[in-house]
Amino acid sequence: MSSGVITSSSFAKLLWPGLNAIYGKSYSDYPVELDKLFEKNKSDRAYEEDLGLSSFGLASVKNEVLRLPMTLNVKASLHATTM
Q: What angle do CA 65, 71, 76 make, to 5 degrees?
A: 150
Q: What is the pTM of this model?
A: 0.27
CA distance 27 to 14: 19
- Residue-level pLDDT at 21: 82
Radius of gyration of the chain (CA): 27
Residue 70 vs residue 38, higher pLDDT: 38
- Residue-level pLDDT at 65: 64
With residue 80 as reference, give the H or E element that holds it.
strand 74-82
